[in-house]
Structure 1
């Protein structure tokens, strides 16, 4: 049996037994009634002590706290390194750590959510899984579907970077390039999945994908219990919300005494969660000063967080507020500078969306939100190998020399 006690609607509060509903609250249309998975913590407290005694091999180390009834799909997600980052910290003026999620099996933190979602799909007898994605969730779901011997259908915006479109196809998924935005791909995926009986992993639509992502919060609670801040990029809002849920659960279970504040970072071309957070702030003047890098909302090089209609914006804003945290917006120029800084300082090649968190720390320190010397974890959510075209904008050109060394700069 899983430790799931109920599914609760975040909008109306109605509670359902796990067997009575699969995706969203039936009292609301579409994704209007996002469900939150609630657990019987008393039932798992005894098992938790044994879990915490040993090393974290992968996310299934936390299986007693996950909504899967045995025989999970294993590909190695979770258990990623938390790196001391002294050079990065010196550059930013903080005590820096990097949670390196780029080493997950398909290269991003989305593997945590897919591990749980695909395990549930297989246990419930589904033969096809589907999702809409800006890239990382697509590869993640496809990889885990291949591991579980399930068919996979992916809906992506047609302008997705080629490397991100190739990866899920290599895993055997059918990729459908939608002539439109991520929101268009999301709605088409929702409609077609319902018509054809596919198991839908979509963010916000599937309540269990977030449950896998909260294992990142578990790991941070164990590895960095003294962190003052955790900085993360925000696209749909699911990852940040999941991390906060995991951190809060470990505080509730007595694993840690306190939780860090969250810094949510968005790109200037996709600011929907930031805008909502500012609008909900009690002090609108202070909120409006969180960032000067406001864009026109049309586009960003950080494609993984280029989400105009974030379905989990409400959860993300609550996580920021409950943690006493904040949100900032950063320009594409700042993101590319941060991508290079992270690589040069710590040897981590992160995609632009991940580097946005580093740029956000810099902006927050400059504005006094993060105090100099505070302990800050930046989450490198995805590998830069998926978008080398953007990385080329952040680096110097190759220096051409002949075999005799002609053209070699004297100052090297």
Structure 2
């Protein structure tokens, strides 16, 4: 049994090191879940085992298996997650006044970015001999983990806040998971999932505390780096929404690894975007101490009052030379419609939040009009149709009469004359 490319798990606060072969979630030297762990690697071993011929043929995140913290003998539990398209967005670019690309991770098997982490979670849980896996979720992680648990033959037990979108809860139920709706906030559901893990010994997939989950998420950074090589240009900015902070931290780590290994000549700046009603990482990055830990935003996937990965997220922003912005729920809904109506990409509110952030950053002079931007859509729009209805005003209802159509568009003759 070998995982020779993984050297240690290191506490992001005190630097204490732990054996990566054990199941450990946070550094015990710190109260609660503050002692987040970082997976450290021997990059000479990784380089020797990775085919650095970057041709853009990315069929799944497992193309980067040499970077992933799994044992050689572990059974890979996969649904071909990752390998998502990076689209040119000419209509959106014209609308915004800046060259924009869209990385569409809503095309993952369960419809969200989190599949990149769930594949690793179930692979490691199964290899460790655990037959029950759990997490807390506002919806997407629940659906994602449940699908991969089904694929891997594990029982899955999910904790969600009571107001989680019903559309997202249908998925884990179909996948056979037990879904426990906690009468409280996401943070309360999260705390309960951690307590249950300690009490029952279930394997916990929570990306903010399970150190290996960020490592799956970082494959999006590997993909963006490879896609940049093929396109012949590294984007100036890569933009993610932020909830717990794991996604932007992972994306930066992956891109930076390829930059440090000289697989790509440059790296982008990271722009993190949070909703005004859940601004904790943004406030921390900008040095504000008085942070309200109550999250209130319709973008449920990033509705986190107490982010657990603030340190890694802020480090990604700082190391990359990037920054963060806040956007309103109204901005998010407008961005959801803008992305769909210009490029035919249907995203949920959290997936539209990066686009709202680009608009804000352009208005504030953070992003220049001659730069290139990648926005990352992290979840498919059918995850939350209620928000889409709110954003668009819903359908026009008419009687089955041609006169009803004429009231909307004029007569055929009038329409032809307008053409």
Q: Please tell me the TM-score bracket, short chain as reference.
A: over 0.9
Tell me the alpha carbon deviations over residues 172-199 of structure 1, each in whole angstroms, 9 at most, x when there is no partner: 1101111111111111000111111100
Q: CA deviation at 1:48?
A: 1.5
Matched, 1:349 2:346: yes
**Distance change (3 Å), C-alpha of 1:105 and 1:21:** closer
1:398 Cα deviation from its structure 2 partner: 2.2
1:267 — aligned with what?
275
Q: Contact 1:203–1:311 at 8 Å: present in 2 too? A: no
Answer yes or no: is 1:167 the counterpart of 2:181.
no
Which runs of 4 or more aligned residues in structure 1 lie more than 6 Å from their structure 2 counterparts after TM superposition?
Answer: none
Tell me how far 1:200 sits from its aligned partner. Answer: 0.5
Aligned match of 1:248: 256
Q: For residues 407 and 146 of structure 1, do their structure 2 counterparts lie closer, same or farther at Cα, with a shift above 3 Å needed?
A: same
Deviation at 1:295, TM superposition (A): 11
3-state secondary structure, aligned to 2:40: strand
After TM superposition, give the deviation of residue 401 of structure 1 in Å.
3.4
User: Per-residue CA shift, 1:255-274, capped at 9, x if unaligned?
Assistant: 11211001100111111111
Q: 1:176 aligns with which of 165, 177, 180?
A: 180
Q: How does 1:91-102 map to 2 (within 5 A)?
A: 91-102=95-106
* Aligned match of 1:217: 221
Q: CA deviation at 1:138?
A: 0.7
Where structure 2 has 5 or more consecutive residues not aligned to the other structure, the ranges are: none
Give the Å deviation of 1:26: 2.2
Q: Counterpart of 1:159 in 2: which secondary structure?
A: coil
2:325 alignment partner in structure 1 = 328
- The one-character-per-residue Cα deviations of 1:27-66 (angstroms, maximum 9, x if unpaired) are 2232121111011110121222256457211011111110
Query: In the alignment, is residue 311 of structure 1 matched against residue 308 of structure 2?
Result: yes
Q: Paired residue for 1:405?
A: 402
Q: CA deviation at 1:203?
A: 2.3
- 2:59, 2:125 → 1: CA distance? 23
Q: CA deviation at 1:404?
A: 3.6
Structure 1 residue matching 2:158: 3-state secondary structure: strand
1:410 CA drift (Å): 2.7
Match of 2:362 in 1: 365
The 3 A distance-change label for structure 1 pair 405 and 214 is same
Q: Distance in 2 between matches of 1:53 and 1:86?
A: 24
**Could you tell which deviates more after superposition, 99-108 or 51-60?**
51-60
Which is higher, the Rg of structure 1 or of structure 2? 2
8 Å contact 1:268–1:296 — kept in the other structure? no
- Partner of 1:19, secondary structure, is coil
Q: Number of matched residues? A: 400
Task: Render the CA deviation track for 1:55-89: whole Å, top value 9, x for unaligned.
Answer: 21101111111011242101121000000001111
Using structure 2 for the length normalisation, give the TM-score: 0.92
Q: How far apart, in 1, do the equivalents of 2:340 and 2:329 lie?
A: 17
Are 2:203 and 1:199 equivalent residues in the alignment? yes
Structure-1 separation of matches of 2:134 and 2:183: 18
Distance in 2 (CA, whole Å) between partners of 1:242 and 1:86 is 28
Q: Report the secondary structure of 1:107's partner residue.
A: coil
- Give the secondary structure class of the aligned counterpart of 1:208: helix
Q: Are the structure 2 counterparts of residues 398 and 237 from structure 1 closer, same or farther at C-alpha, using a change threshold of 3 Å?
A: same
Deviation at 1:126?
Answer: 0.4
Q: Distance in 2 between matches of 1:135 and 1:113?
A: 15
Note if contact 1:234-1:264 (Cα within 8 Å) is conserved in structure 2.
Answer: yes
